[in-house]
Chain A
């Protein structure tokens, strides 16, 4: 299908790890991205991964890419209340045509 799919909601306790999953569609996507949207704000880039990589780590964030299954995940270690937001994965189709996922609303419980 055309859609980039994510689960809608995730709830975790403060200090636990969060794993947000995404299934994309275009096997030729060069870059895959994770964006964060806080309430009332626009999206902000968290990290991206080049398609020839399997994993990328950036402080508390770990991105895993399974190209065979077209599966992308974002792991947030030691999740904090400030991490509560909507997280979007995105793929680039063609030149500069970003397709965003449906978004996963992460709620961190104190």
Chain B
């Protein structure tokens, strides 16, 4: 298995532009998580899905952020419009669905908003 796949690996954009981050979870995993990592705030859970349904989006910073999971093998995190303070590494993770199970993280997308 290729593991969790994220694209792009790096994204540089200008303030005000729309940014779309993509994630392909491991096949058979029922849970998908989006995290944001910054030096100041550490690793924050933004939203997670169970069987393609958003369960908890309380970590999404504001209305500029949205996430979708149209099917079991694909999810997007969109920022519109982007701001410099959105610069961070965004991780996608997936897991099978047992409480003790490991979350498998993707390599992350490093976003820089100028």
A20-28, A38-46, A65-73 - the one binding chain B: A38-46
Q: Are A45 and B45 in contact (CB under 8 A)?
A: no
Interface SS of chain B: helix, strand, loop or mixed? strand
Interface centre among B35, B42, B108 (most CB of A within 10 A): B42
Whether the Cβ atoms of B105 and A42 lie closer than 8 Å is yes
B24-59 with Cβ < 8 A to chain A: 31, 33, 35, 42-43, 45, 48, 50, 55-56
Interface of A is mostly: strand
**Any chain A CB within 8 A of the CB of B93?**
yes
**Count, chain A residues at interface, CB 8 A:** 21
Which listed residue, B48, B55, B56, B106, touches A42 by the CB 8 Å rule? B106
A71-108 interface code vs B (CB 8 A; 1 in, 0 out)? 00000000000000000100010011111111100000
Chain B residues with CB under 8 Å of A31's CB are 99-100
Partner of B107, one of A42, A92, A96, A98: A42
B107 and A99 contact, CB distance less than 8 A? no
B43 lies within 8 A of A103 (CB): yes
Query: Which residues of B line the A interface, CB within 8 A?
Result: 4, 31, 33, 35, 42-43, 45, 48, 50, 55-56, 91, 93, 99-100, 102-103, 105-108
Residues of A within 8 A of B (CB): 30-31, 40-45, 48, 50, 88, 92, 95-103
